[in-house]
Chains A and B, each alone.
Chain A
């Protein structure tokens, strides 16, 4: 009987949650200098990186504050396939992949509790 060639492991398959292109891979870090990299080469680079990081933090903080402000408010969700629904916002999960909502008004009735998939949402609006 002939021997099978051995494998160190199987090829890694796709990540079900993302589209890949790991920003931490050596190739990405080397070929895309405009994004923030873990190691900064010069003083001027670190200044730019610092400013970019400050802007990112400010934007992230205001986004998180809008999520807090939205709790228990009526929010109108504008989604794909010309879907417009209104619901009372409950919470978001940690990666902002799903929104927990209550009293979701749909064309086929009012859903008491529902989970909206964030990738299906184009935009949402609410009154402060």
Chain B
């Protein structure tokens, strides 16, 4: 019996979600931060999508957001010309770093000691978080607004993508360009996978994979629509992408074959990322929601429960009053839409005992 993907929809934002990032795996699970044009980035539990808190303080659209590996710190980049560092446990603002223009990207080093920022003033800055009043180190060269700046190669180098249609690799100490890639159009997103040194770049309808050290191209894959963001699975067997046609696409990385596509969002997909354990991927859209999708559809994980045919005993606990029901041919299962919006499936033999409990 084929299982159909049920995405988890996380609402709360009131404007488009433009960026999202996962933390590493911590003793308390892993976490997800979302950047939104409503200026209020939110922290959520990564495997369930449960809201944990909202970082209040920015006075403009938040364009970029990131968490450190331990999910103890968060950083955000906003249209109010500041990047802010937050305590991700208490939600308190820890640092405000003033810039001269809209800040688009923020990224922590592995040890969370330095923060990389990039934005519309075309300058990459490195802030020492242990000495925040000190002037940041500046890296100039880009001729257009910077979309994304990421640490790579064990935080010794920096990768940046800008609207000048280039992706540049910089040495952190010399601040010189080591290598540069030029494209015919602006790069829409960039993801760096430290394990294996892979760089995922999207532009137009193409998802391209490069070696992050040499900037040699590994492969490119074309999607059916213009792609805004893509993410490679930690095991490098799949990658997912989303863009203008509101759909999420899942491809086989080895064969470049399109495996699945999912409708669900009501607007273009702006960002998509795999969780650190690869069990799910999150997408942020113009429609203001985040959706969590299972990598292996039907598996029991987080809020998803695998239900085998024949065992329908305790999916929902009969708390809510039954509002509607329908028979689902041809398997003759009763689907019930209960008050708490849980959709449960029940086999006819068990129906009597369940109805008595519910009503």
A12 contacts B50, C-beta separation under 8 Å: yes
A-B contact pairs, 7 of them (CB 8 A): A2-B1, A3-B331, A6-B6, A7-B6, A11-B44, A21-B91, A30-B28
B72 / chain A contacts, CB cutoff of 8 Å? 31
Please list the 4 inter-chain residue pairs (A to B) with the smallest Cβ-Cβ separation, ordered nearest first: A20-B53, A11-B49, A21-B91, A2-B2
- Judged by a CB distance under 8 angstroms, whether A5 is at the interface is yes
B305 / chain A contacts, CB cutoff of 8 Å? 5-8
B254 / chain A contacts, CB cutoff of 8 Å? none
B304 contacts A6, C-beta separation under 8 Å: yes
Choose, from B194-202, B214-222, B255-263, B338-346, the stretch at the interface. B338-346
Q: How far is the CB of B107 from chain A (nearest CB, A)?
A: 22
A7 / chain B contacts, CB cutoff of 8 Å? 6, 8, 303-305, 342-343
Q: A7-B8, A8-B303, A19-B56 are in contact. List 10 more A-B contacts (CB 8 A).
A: A4-B4, A5-B294, A6-B305, A6-B344, A7-B6, A11-B48, A12-B51, A19-B54, A20-B52, A21-B90
Interface size on A, residues (CB 8 A): 27
Cβ proximity bits B275-305 to A, threshold 8 Å, 1 near / 0 not: 0000000000000000010100110000111
Main secondary structure of the interface of B (DSSP, over half): loop
Choose, from B9-17, B110-118, B129-137, the stretch at the interface. B9-17
- Judged by a CB distance under 8 angstroms, whether A9 is at the interface is yes
A2 contacts B90, C-beta separation under 8 Å: no
Main secondary structure of the interface of A (DSSP, over half): loop
A2 contacts B8, C-beta separation under 8 Å: no
> Known contacts A3-B307, A4-B4: does B54 contact A9 (CB below 8 Å)?
no
- Judged by a CB distance under 8 angstroms, whether B315 is at the interface is yes
Per the bound structure, the CA–CA distance linking A5 and B9 in Å amounts to 14
- Judged by a CB distance under 8 angstroms, whether A126 is at the interface is no
Per the bound structure, the CA–CA distance linking A6 and B3 in Å amounts to 10
Interfacial residues, chain A to chain B (CB-CB below 8 A): 1-15, 19-23, 25-28, 30-32
B54 contacts A5, C-beta separation under 8 Å: no
A6 contacts B315, C-beta separation under 8 Å: yes
Interface size band for B: 35 or more
Per the bound structure, the CA–CA distance linking A28 and B71 in Å amounts to 12
Per the bound structure, the CA–CA distance linking A14 and B41 in Å amounts to 12
Q: How far is the CB of B164 from chain A (nearest CB, A)?
A: 38
B43 / chain A contacts, CB cutoff of 8 Å? 20-21
- Who on chain B is nearest to A7 by CB? B303
B89: contacting residue among A11, A19, A28, CB under 8 A: A28
> Known contacts A1-B329, A2-B2, A9-B303: does B12 contact A14 (CB below 8 Å)?
yes
- Judged by a CB distance under 8 angstroms, whether B61 is at the interface is no
> Known contacts A11-B10, A11-B49: does B4 contact A3 (CB below 8 Å)?
yes
A21 contacts B343, C-beta separation under 8 Å: no
Per the bound structure, the CA–CA distance linking A26 and B340 in Å amounts to 27
- Who on chain A is nearest to B48 by CB? A11
Per the bound structure, the CA–CA distance linking A10 and B291 in Å amounts to 11
- Who on chain B is nearest to A10 by CB? B341
Task: Give the one of B11, B53, B304, B340 with max A CB within 10 A.
Answer: B53
> Known contacts A6-B305, A19-B91, A21-B89: does B51 contact A11 (CB below 8 Å)?
yes
A11 / chain B contacts, CB cutoff of 8 Å? 8-10, 44, 48-51, 292, 303
Per the bound structure, the CA–CA distance linking A10 and B341 in Å amounts to 8
